[in-house]
């Protein structure tokens, strides 16, 4: 059917509806009574429904503005177009042609922007509308659920398109700022590197590069970390009636001793007075018992859901988003997932009783939801707060009519994510969990007249260092202190489960206790908190005391859960979820984009996954090392930009002012790069080759060679967490297994460049007790064996031998063959 046939066939006042994707268009068609047939649109009485397929148009290439910008030259930068132009995205040209024809038809009375109700959805529609040269008056469908009821209510309350102009301003500003910073920085740094004689392509992004920089800084801290031995003292204490518990030695805020001799000396003097009958033996000196309450966790936004799913199930951020989006779009079981809110609005609060009733029909949640039906809760401001809901409220279950059948049809992963969302939602309306906390100081030795007791809290125990600060190690005592010695213990018992019963957290392993134990391990305060026996001040105890040897540990590598948290708070270590919520506007990216940023870094080989950890490759480290302008890798600067974009969306900041500041930053950036020293020439670069007109995605192997040669200089030391051939300089040798890939110098050995395609060929640097030379590698690969040399057998015996090539062997392709004679 041709577009010109639509008004004549279906009436004089037809409304055009533009959805973000075909699946949503089918949902809208079902509710609006439109038959979902047609290649590019669906038509029915009163409505024509078409769709985008993601971004149908995008910002144009630099050469479209100025022919001089085709070449990658420093003297043509900065590139600051006076007005940005759009071009068709190559993936859906036919659909773009159909949408623009529909928008150009003046017989439509209005067009409904039904793209996803968020910043990116607004941009998708606005760009298409602009590319088409405008169209009918715009109205906005703004819904947080794709249930039939939500769609009907949304169409009954369409908003004037102009009400979303501020959001559109923020969306355009984000898109143009990414172009300005990414295009100019990538070209400037790459062109400067070419002056050094190599062809590395430095792919730099406004959000991507600061995110990579956080990972690289953490990796550098780990690699430079030198473990320090230290000792702790443990007291095994007993009451007269057989109660037992463990306490840790402390001298004020210090719990670590610098030498074994020092620890042993304290242990021996305390053990000498370990009997309960000893006048200066162990005594309960101070005791504090209190009840603490832990409120339910805040509802899920996308980042919190991704972090929880990563910790609980090992899901990547991208996988969690994919599942949540399917639960929203296809199954209609949860609300809009790409949200940054962790609260509900007051209008949603009015629908809570009905939602509790539907959840009560599901066997897994019947007991908990039934209690809320029988005794309707009064939601607190931790749950309902209009001031903290902007585009969308928190993720909650929805559309549960007949849900038992729908949930039974979910696969295992989707069921897990739905269960997380449902239990978090119900738990929010349950009472606090309550815990009985007992803290005790035990003194061994005679009290000193006039000496104040140690007390409780940070004043006595010392402040906890930030867990992200590798340098903030607790102090160590390096001299023998005078007696008395004191030991501290803390016990914890859950006395009321409250919301934890809904979340499925049992008393023996409650989440709060896990957090406390994690902190104890991180700050040197001892082992997980025990359950203490009944104690009273002055009570004599018996005990034995022994030193415990330990080592300081480096900061942990990022997992996706911890990286998402760091991105959310622009690299600041914030454990408190309320404080983190206050920082969300100043994070790196948005909940909707963080997963794709991580995946982009992985796709470009700047990161690698090692089980649950994210490890920067030598390629990624080389990129950050080569960036000459620190602000390009600054999480704080990018976070400040994100905060301004959020203010623009709320009408609290000006798009013009923000873009002027970005343009000024780009101009300063180019001048700084122009005046900086280029990276030193590196082996493997090919001077004179021209980078592509725009950054490839990912960088081509030829462009990557320069960065790989930069990486090779640091690849000689063992890095057990990296794949053997993930990075490094080319050796000019072909892989003898697959005969397709080149051999690269990696972190621990030489491996095939096609390791991602499954070729596992590797020769380790350290083989048969000897560090191999490049000449020995060449002999092994080209001749099938090395010359005779001195090696060490598996039994540790030195012998004359040669290495023989076994290309199909797993775990190392060189095997030792003993030889006799000269």
What are the residue numbers of the active site? 336
Q: Is 279 helix (H, G, I), strand (E, B) or coil?
A: coil
What's the 3-state SS for 630-676?
HHHHCHHHHHHHHHHHHHHHCCCCCHHHHHHHHHHHHHHHHHHHHCC
Distances (CA, A) of 439 to 208, 245, 328, 433, 660: 46, 12, 47, 19, 57
Instruction: Compute φ and ψ for 692, nearest 5 degrees.
Output: -65, 165
d(CA 16, CA 6): 11
Q: Is 415 helix (H, G, I), strand (E, B) or coil?
A: helix
Instruction: Identify which of 726, 758, 756, 721 has the alpha carbon closest to the alpha carbon of residue 744.
Output: 726
Instruction: Compute φ and ψ for 193, nearest 5 degrees.
Output: -65, -35
Beta-bridge partners for 439: 288, 490
Instruction: Identify which of 577, 435, 458 has the alpha carbon closest to the alpha carbon of residue 523.
Output: 458
d(CA 205, CA 691): 17
Residue 290 parent element (H or E): strand 283-294
Burial class (CB in 10 A: 0-12, 13-18, 19+), 251: middle
DSSP 96: H
DSSP 110: E
Distances (CA, A) of 261 to 235, 250, 256, 444, 592: 17, 17, 13, 19, 55
Q: Is 379 helix (H, G, I), strand (E, B) or coil?
A: coil
d(CA 504, CA 506): 6
In the chain the first and final C-alpha atoms are separated, in Å, by: 88
Alpha helices in 784-819 (DSSP H): none
d(CA 801, CA 815): 10
Token pair in block for residue 239:
């009451």
d(CA 664, CA 656): 12
What's the 3-state SS for 493-507?
EEEECCHHHHHCCCH
Map tokens 């000459």 to a residue. Answer: 628
The CA-based angle 785-787-791, given to 5 degrees, is 95
Beta-bridge partners for 745: 750
The answer for residues whose C-beta is within 8 angstroms of residue 398's C-beta and 6 or more apart is 145, 147, 150, 332, 333, 334, 335, 355
d(CA 230, CA 666): 49
Instruction: Identify which of 488, 510, 491, 517 has the alpha carbon closest to the alpha carbon of residue 438.
Output: 491
Q: Alpha-carbon torsion 602, 62, 628, 731, what sign?
A: positive
Give Cα 619 distance to the centre of its chain: 20
Q: Is 147 helix (H, G, I), strand (E, B) or coil?
A: coil
Token pair in block for residue 206:
């406004």
Give the Cβ contact number of residue 13 at 10 Å. 11
Beta-bridge partners for 284: 442
């Amino acid at each position: 059917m041709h577009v010109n046939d639509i008004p004549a066939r279906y009436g004089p006042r037809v409304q055009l509806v533009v959805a973000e994707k075909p699946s949503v268009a089918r949902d809208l068609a079902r509710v609006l009574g439109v038959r979902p047939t047609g290649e590019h649109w669906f038509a029915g009485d009163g409505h024509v429904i078409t769709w985008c397929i993601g971004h149908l148009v995008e910002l144009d290439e630099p050469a479209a503005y100025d022919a001089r910008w085709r070449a990658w030259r420093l003297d043509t930068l900065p590139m600051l177009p006076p007005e940005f132009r759009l071009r068709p995205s190559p993936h859906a040209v036919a659909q773009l042609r159909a949408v623009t024809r529909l928008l150009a038809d003046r017989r439509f009375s209005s067009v409904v922007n039904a793209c996803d109700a968020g910043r990116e959805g607004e941009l998708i529609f606005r760009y298409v509308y602009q590319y088409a040269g405008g169209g009918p008056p715009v109205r906005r469908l703004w819904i947080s659920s794709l249930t039939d009821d939500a769609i009907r209510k949304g169409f009954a309350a369409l908003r004037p398109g102009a009400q979303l102009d501020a959001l559109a301003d923020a969306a355009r500003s984000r898109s143009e700022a990414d172009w300005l910073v990414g295009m100019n920085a990538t070209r400037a740094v790459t062109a400067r590197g070419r002056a050094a004689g190599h062809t590395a392509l430095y792919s730099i992004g406004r959000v991507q590069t600061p995110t990579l920089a956080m990972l690289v800084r953490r990796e550098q801290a780990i690699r430079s970390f030198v473990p320090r031995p230290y000792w702790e003292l443990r007291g095994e204490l007993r009451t007269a009636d057989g109660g037992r518990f463990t306490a840790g030695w402390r001298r004020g805020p210090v719990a670590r001793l610098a030498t074994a001799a020092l620890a042993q000396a304290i242990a021996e003097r305390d053990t000498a007075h370990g009997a309960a009958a000893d006048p200066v033996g162990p005594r309960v000196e101070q005791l504090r018992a209190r009840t603490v309450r832990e409120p339910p966790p805040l509802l899920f936004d996308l980042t919190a859901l991704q972090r929880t799913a990563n910790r609980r199930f090992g899901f990547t951020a991208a996988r969690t988003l994919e599942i949540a989006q399917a639960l929203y779009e296809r199954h209609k079981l949860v609300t809009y997932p790409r949200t940054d809110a962790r609260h509900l609005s007051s209008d949603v609060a009015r629908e809570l009783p009905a939602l509790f009733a539907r959840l009560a029909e599901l066997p897994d949640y019947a007991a908990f939801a039934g209690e809320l039906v029988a005794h309707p809760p009064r939601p607190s401001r931790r749950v309902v707060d209009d001031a903290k809901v902007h585009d969308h409220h928190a993720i909650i279950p929805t559309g549960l009519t007949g849900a038992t059948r729908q949930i039974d049809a979910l696969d295992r992963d989707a069921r897990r994510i739905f269960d997380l969302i449902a239990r978090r939602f119900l738990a929010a309306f349950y009472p606090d969990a309550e815990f009985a906390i007992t803290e005790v100081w035990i003194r061994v030795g005679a009290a000193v007249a006039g000496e104040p007791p140690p007390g409780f809290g940070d004043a006595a125990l010392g402040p906890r260092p930030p867990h992200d600060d590798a340098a903030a190690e607790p102090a160590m005592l390096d001299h023998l202190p005078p007696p008395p010695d004191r030991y501290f213990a803390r016990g914890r018992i859950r006395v009321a489960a409250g919301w934890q019963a809904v979340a499925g957290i049992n008393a023996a392993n409650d989440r709060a206790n896990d957090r406390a134990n994690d902190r104890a391990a991180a700050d040197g305060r001892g082992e997980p908190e025990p359950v203490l026996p009944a104690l009273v001040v002055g009570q004599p105890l018996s005990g034995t005391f022994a030193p415990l040897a330990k080592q300081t540990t480096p900061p942990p590598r990022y997992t996706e859960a911890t990286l998402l948290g760091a991105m959310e708070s622009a690299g600041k270590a914030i454990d408190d979820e309320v404080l983190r919520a206050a920082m969300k506007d100043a994070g790196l990216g948005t909940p909707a984009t963080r997963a794709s940023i991580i995946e982009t870094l992985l796709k470009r080989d700047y990161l690698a996954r090692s089980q649950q950890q994210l490890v920067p490759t030598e390629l990624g480290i080389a990129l950050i090392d080569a960036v000459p302008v620190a602000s390009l890798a600054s999480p704080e600067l990018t976070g400040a930009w994100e905060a301004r974009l959020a203010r623009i969306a709320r009408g609290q900041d000006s798009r013009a002012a923000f873009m002027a500041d970005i343009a000024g930053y780009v101009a300063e950036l180019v001048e700084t790069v122009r005046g900086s020293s280029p990276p030193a020439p590196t082996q493997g670069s090919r001077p004179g080759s021209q980078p592509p007109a725009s950054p490839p995605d990912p960088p081509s192997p030829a462009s990557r060679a320069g960065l790989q040669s930069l990486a090779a200089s640091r690849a000689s030391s063992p890095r057990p967490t990296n794949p053997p051939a993930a990075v490094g300089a080319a050796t000019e040798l072909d892989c003898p297994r697959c005969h397709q890939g080149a051999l690269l110098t990696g972190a621990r050995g030489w491996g095939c460049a096609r390791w991602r395609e499954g070729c596992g060929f590797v020769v380790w640097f350290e083989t048969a007790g000897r560090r191999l030379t490049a000449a020995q590698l060449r002999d092994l690969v080209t001749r099938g064996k090395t010359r005779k040399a001195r090696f060490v057998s598996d039994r540790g015996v030195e012998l004359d031998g040669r290495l023989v090539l076994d290309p199909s062997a797993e775990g190392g392709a060189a095997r030792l063959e003993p030889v006799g004679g000269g």
